[in-house]
């Protein structure tokens, strides 16, 4: 990972460290919010950064729908290079589908409509598009007739973004990552980014991007700088202006920061604009404050994360009483962030029983691995093997696990997939010889054996 920003202190950047500390307090204490990382930039410099162990700065994290903002950047670059016209129809990029797409509204969907989630459909079409054509999602999407005229209604719609990715692949002759590597990733110093692909070999586009938190911050900083990086223009200024302003209204969205309008794969918010992904992946850009906030996590209540930012972080910027004395304490706290390990008694001899079986678990066995236990979980036709720490997280490649014994004798093992938001709970009844597994948050398009950075 080579993405770096100059380091400074909050007070030197006009931010009160106490407000950042209160923001951290809120993230750590709010129900259904679990932070994994934070990078806070102001004036292009790091005011604060930290990772909650076992998550780390050199690891990628699954971004879920924040992937859309990277896909949109690829479209923006293609527009700048004259490869894509925003007012061209989506169908024009797939002439082989012309005879299949007979609905007039579908034929009128333009690239700008895809970017704005304004294809004319009133709701998500992913399942219907897959049903219409299990092998070609673009064809299935274009054969799913819009309910309204394209450009008139908002609906968060995964095939819109998938089609954008397909357009970039079509005009460039390569993959999304191949297209982005020399044009965006290398200039921004992002050397570790991978994308989950579907059965056709195409990046999902709407999800599946794995990148470090610094890459999220860099993308936000690029948009904050109106498309210029180190003096070189990567995105046209009019593209940035359109992408980060309302292209279609969405007043019916339930949460206040999701009903302020939608740009080109960016949400407008009560303050600034942002890209985000399921379970708390955020790229928040505040142009008025010259601030970028990048976050990853496992949070079910994403509105609560933004509420905490507006309540604690925003007032700390250019606060009247910036406290420089708080900088060192905040730095120490950020360096020692961690998610508590599983609490309880010491693990007994787990090798005397098992393998354990239960609902969804074909087998769970424990063996010694040095001073620790190793759990081997047979699931989904394969084996997941992970070291288990006691009183700590044992990090084992893309996994981290911690275990203990509950007062009733149940063995508790938590397994974190540290390149993703996800956590699995294993519960073992030694006497009964049974085990259960449950997700803290349900993965959206992977199972336990594939919840990791995909191969390039």
Q: Which domains does the chain have, with CATH numbers?
A: 11-334 (3.40.710.10), 350-439 (no CATH)
Residue 98 has pLDDT above 80, yes or no: yes
Residue 4 has pLDDT above 80, yes or no: no
Model confidence pLDDT, tens digit, residues 234-284: 999 999 999 999 999 999 888 999 999 999 999 999 999 999 999 999 999
Residue 289 has pLDDT above 50, yes or no: yes
Model confidence pLDDT, tens digit, residues 99-147: 999 999 999 999 999 999 999 999 999 999 999 999 999 999 999 999 9
Q: Are 68 and 211 in contact (CB under 8 A)?
A: no
Residue found under tokens 């005229």: 149
Model confidence pLDDT, tens digit, residues 229-248: 999 999 999 999 999 999 99
Model confidence pLDDT, tens digit, residues 434-449: 999 999 999 999 999 9
Q: Which of 295, 241, 300, 307 is nearest to 270 (CA)?
A: 307
Lowest mean pLDDT among 1-10, 195-204, 447-456: 1-10
pLDDT for the residue 360? 74
- Burial letters for 340-367: b for 16+ Cβ neighbours within 10 Å, e otherwise? ebbebeebeebeebbebebeebeebbbe
pTM for this predicted structure: 0.96
pLDDT for the residue 354? 74
pLDDT for the residue 2? 43
């Amino acid at each position: 990972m080579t993405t770096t920003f100059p380091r400074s202190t909050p007070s030197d950047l006009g931010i009160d460290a106490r407000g950042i500390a209160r923001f951290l307090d809120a993230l750590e204490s709010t129900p259904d919010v679990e932070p994994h990382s934070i990078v806070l930039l102001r004036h292009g410099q790091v005011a604060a950064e930290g990772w909650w162990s076992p998550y780390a700065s050199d690891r990628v994290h699954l971004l879920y729908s924040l992937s859309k903002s990277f896909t949109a950047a690829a479209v923006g670059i293609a527009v700048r290079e004259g490869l894509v016209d925003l007012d061209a129809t989506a169908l024009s990029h797939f002439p082989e589908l012309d005879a299949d797409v007979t609905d007039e509204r579908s034929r009128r969907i333009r690239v700008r409509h895809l970017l704005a989630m304004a294809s004319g459909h009133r709701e998500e079409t992913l399942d219907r598009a897959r049903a219409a054509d299990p092998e070609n999602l673009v064809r299935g999407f274009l054969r799913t007739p819009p309910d309204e005229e394209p450009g008139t209604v908002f609906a968060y719609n995964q095939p819109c973004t998938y089609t954008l990715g397909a357009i970039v692949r079509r005009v460039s002759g390569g993959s999304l990552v191949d297209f982005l590597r020399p044009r965006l990733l290398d200039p921004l110093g992002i050397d570790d980014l991978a994308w989950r692909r579907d059965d056709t070999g195409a990046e999902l586009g709407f999800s599946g991007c794995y990148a470090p938190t610094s890459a999220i911050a860099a993308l936000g900083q690029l948009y904050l700088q109106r498309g210029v990086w180190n003096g070189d223009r990567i995105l046209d200024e009019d593209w940035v202006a359109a992408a980060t302003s309302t292209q279609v209204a969405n007043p019916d969205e339930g949460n206040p920061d999701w009903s302020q309008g939608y740009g080109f794969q960016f949400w407008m918010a009560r303050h600034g604009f942002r890209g985000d992904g399921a379970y708390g992946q955020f790229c928040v850009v505040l142009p008025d404050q010259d601030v970028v906030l990048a976050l990853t996590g496992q949070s079910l209540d994403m509105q609560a994360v933004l509420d905490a930012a507006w309540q604690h972080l925003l007032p700390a910027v250019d606060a009247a009483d910036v406290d420089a004395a708080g900088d060192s304490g905040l730095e120490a706290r950020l360096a020692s962030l961690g998610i508590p390990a599983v609490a309880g008694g010491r693990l007994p001899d787990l090798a005397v029983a098992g393998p354990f079986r239960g609902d969804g678990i074909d087998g769970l066995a424990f063996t010694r691995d040095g001073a620790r236990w190793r759990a081997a979980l047979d699931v989904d036709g394969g084996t997941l093997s992970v070291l288990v720490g006691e009183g700590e997280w044992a990090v084992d490649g893309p996994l981290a696990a911690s275990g203990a014994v509950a007062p009733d004798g149940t063995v508790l093992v938590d397994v974190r997939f540290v390149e993703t938001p996800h956590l699995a709970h294993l519960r073992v009844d030694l006497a009964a010889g049974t085990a259960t597994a449950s997700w803290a948050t349900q993965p959206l398009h992977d199972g336990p054996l594939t919840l990791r950075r995909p191969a390039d």
